[in-house]
């Protein structure tokens, strides 16, 4: 079995040693021993770190990612959960695309003041109404998976936000 010390893992994965120690503390990765004062990991940890990075890029929290890692270290992913997350990303993309289009319009708008531009005022109204009345929505964050473990909704007060 090939092993890597923490500095080798950091170099190969591009993840700082401090983050590796944090992931170990959270139970996402595990050292197989020590070489002097340095943690030593199985070479397979680099692949697990790539999985963690992918999950974070997709907007999953570390707790959600931890639940996707099986007891033996393999992936244990609920496909319905992934589909719901993809739907969440689609909604976010649509919202951000509309915002981008509104900002581009505002940048090119011939109105003497943005406050005189009906499109800009409509954009502000939509943005302020979303803040006041954020609807509770069914999303992948409310889907149960993995033995009935509820996944927190990051849009509700008091729950952990995605990383």
User: Contact at 8 Å (CB) between 160 and 90?
Assistant: no
149-150 and 144-145 strand pairing: antiparallel
> Can you give the length of the chain in residues?
163
Q: What is the pLDDT of residue 69?
A: 86
Q: What is the pLDDT of residue 6?
A: 94
Q: Which of the residues in the chain have pLDDT under 50?
A: 135-163
Q: What is the pLDDT of residue 1?
A: 61
Q: What is the pLDDT of residue 150?
A: 38
Give the CA-trace dihedral at 133, 134, 138, 140, to 10 degrees: 180
User: Contact at 8 Å (CB) between 4 and 45?
Assistant: yes
Q: What is the CA radius of gyration of the chain?
A: 21
Its pTM stands at: 0.66
Termini Cα distance of the chain: 32
Question: What does residue 111 show for φ and ψ, rounded to 5 degrees?
Answer: -60, 145
CA 84, CA 142: separation in Å to the nearest integer?
Answer: 9
CA distances, 4 to each of 38, 43, 127, 130, 131 (Å):
10, 6, 49, 48, 48
């Amino acid at each position: 079995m090939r092993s890597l010390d923490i500095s080798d893992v950091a170099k190969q994965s591009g993840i700082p040693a401090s983050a590796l120690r944090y992931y170990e503390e959270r139970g996402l990765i595990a050292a197989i021993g020590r070489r002097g004062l340095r943690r030593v990991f199985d070479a397979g940890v680099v692949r697990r770190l790539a999985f963690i990075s992918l999950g974070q890029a997709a907007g999953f929290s570390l707790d959600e990612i931890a639940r996707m890692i099986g007891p033996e270290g393999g992936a244990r992913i609920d496909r319905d959960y992934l589909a719901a997350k993809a739907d969440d990303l689609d909604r976010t993309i649509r919202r951000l695309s509309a915002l981008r289009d509104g900002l581009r319009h505002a940048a090119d708008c011939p109105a003497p003041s943005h406050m005189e531009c009906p499109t800009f005022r409509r954009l502000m109204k939509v943005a302020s109404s979303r803040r006041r009345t954020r609807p509770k929505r069914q999303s992948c964050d409310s889907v149960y998976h993995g033995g009935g473990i509820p996944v927190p909704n990051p849009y509700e007060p008091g729950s952990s936000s995605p990383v």
